[in-house]
Amino acid sequence: MPSKRKIQAVDLVRDIREGMSELDLMRKYRVSATGLYDLFERLVEAKALQPHELCHGMAGREESVVLDNVDVLLQDMRKSTRHLVNTPLCIYDARFPSIKGRLRDLSEGGVGLEDIYTEVGEKRIFVISPLGATEFKPFMFEAVCRWFKDNDTGDSSAGFEFVEMSEQSSQEFQTLLKLIAAEK
């Protein structure tokens, strides 16, 4: 039986988040469509990607490749646990309050947003505010966009890494993080 070819998970995730087409991914990593969808599924199962980060469907399996270094990817890219947000929270651009989005997930290192259009590398100042009575107060932080995906359906998603947060905002963030983590 021939040895299985290895694909670096870090490189594959980066290419997916940068919007490389399925055809270009298949060419670069020398996999069939079935093999590519299998890689997508493995990345989601390993929690290296969220399903919404892929505008691709999941298909059958092909056992001709091994996804290598997923543990390294998770240590490097996910230095802290990501918590999905089920509670509706308001997040908006502090400079332009009419620019609002939805908080999809959060971690010690940053936030995942939906419906905020941005560019990779762009710095923004956001405010997270509760809708209704809750145990935390509105807080502000500066973050830089690390990835952005504009889906064919008109929806968008982006990942922002924290750059700066005041001590008071950090305390409110920690309160929110505990509330979200407790929802599980």
Residue 70: pLDDT band (50, 70, 90) is low
91 and 66 within one domain: no
Please give the pLDDT value at position 40. Answer: 80
For residue 159, which of 80, 95, 108, 106 has the smallest C-alpha distance?
Answer: 106
Please give the residue range of the domain that contains residue 143. Answer: 83-182
Mean pLDDT of the chain: 79
72 and 105 within one domain: no
102 and 157 within one domain: yes
Please give the pLDDT value at position 63. Answer: 42
141 and 59 within one domain: no
Q: Which of 77, 111, 137 is the last residue of a domain?
A: 77
Please give the pLDDT value at position 62. Answer: 41
Percentage of residues in the chain with pLDDT exceeding 70? 78
Residue 65: pLDDT band (50, 70, 90) is low
The three-state secondary structure class of 57 is coil
49 and 12 within one domain: yes
Rounded CA separation 18/16 (Å): 5
The pTM for the full model equals 0.57
Q: Which of 77, 94, 121 is the last residue of a domain?
A: 77
Q: Which has more confidence, 49 or 94? A: 94
**Structural domains counted in the chain:** 2
- Give the CA-trace dihedral at 8, 73, 37, 150, to 10 degrees: -120
**Which tens digit of pLDDT belongs to each residue from 127-148?**
998 876 567 888 999 999 998 8
Q: Which has more confidence, 39 or 164? A: 164
**Which tens digit of pLDDT belongs to each residue from 97-129?**
888 888 889 998 999 998 888 888 999 999 998
Q: Which of 32, 62, 77 is the last residue of a domain?
A: 77
- Residue 120 is part of a domain; what is its CATH number? 2.40.10.220
Please give the pLDDT value at position 48. Answer: 83
